[in-house]
Amino acid sequence: MVITEVRIKLCEENNERLLAFCSVTFDNAFVVRDLKIIEGTKGVFVAMPSRKLTDRCQKCGCKNHLRARFCNACGVRMDETRATREVDGRAKLHADIAHPIHSGARELVQASVVKAYHEEKDRSKLPGYVCRYDEFDFDDDVPASYSAVVAEMGAKARPHAGHAAPKAPYVAETSAKVRADDFAAGIG
């Protein structure tokens, strides 16, 4: 496993601990995005991409984040001690999406990312600085479509059959629930 590229997106200076986001490319073939570079009590460290853990309401079955005090759908009070606990007693609220299996791999990723972070920070002080994080570089030999990829691999691609449209009441319920969830999360 060789890290072939690290891209850094620096955060605003007013963030307390979050310094930057980054993406790491392995062997010019596999990218992991949304790693976070964080200022910890013992220095800078890299946090792997993660998702919030959820559970279901005992009354209605709606998914809720483990920190939720009330159900997003029915409003019933949730048990605040339902999250599993780490060895040190802290609630486990997130799960890594991608992460190194052993400490050697973690150290390799961390060293590469921290080095790239310091280089990007220095680059950002130069006149005309432009962040490269969101750029997408595609080689000419990269196939443009799924069919081209399959053809390149020597197989025959079959077209994907369409799906039936959802029934009207389901759409109305879903969109109302999505709006309610967005409102509860502060998005809407």
Domain containing 131 — which CATH number? 3.30.1120.40
152 domain residue, yes or no: yes
Q: Are 82 and 65 in contact (CB under 8 A)?
A: no
> Of the candidates 45, 19, 43, 21, which has an alpha carbon nearest to the alpha carbon of residue 32?
21
Q: Between the CA of residue 36 and those of 32, 79, 111, what are the distances in Å?
A: 11, 30, 14
Q: Are 148 and 23 in contact (CB under 8 A)?
A: no
Q: What's the confidence (pLDDT) of residue 154?
A: 62
Q: What's the confidence (pLDDT) of residue 170?
A: 45
121 shares a domain with 90: no
Q: What's the confidence (pLDDT) of residue 146?
A: 60
117 shares a domain with 34: yes
Q: Which pair of tokens denotes residue 10? A: 């620096």
70 shares a domain with 58: yes
34 shares a domain with 114: yes
List the chain pLDDT tens, one digit each, 188 residues.
Answer: 799 999 999 988 776 899 999 999 999 899 999 999 999 999 999 999 988 888 888 889 898 888 888 998 999 998 877 877 778 877 788 888 888 899 999 999 999 999 999 999 999 999 988 888 876 555 555 555 666 666 666 655 556 566 665 555 544 444 445 555 555 555 54
Count structural domains, the chain: 2
13 shares a domain with 34: yes
Q: What's the confidence (pLDDT) of residue 54?
A: 87
Q: What's the confidence (pLDDT) of residue 156?
A: 54
Question: How far apart are the C-alpha atoms of 94 and 67, rounded to whole Å?
Answer: 11
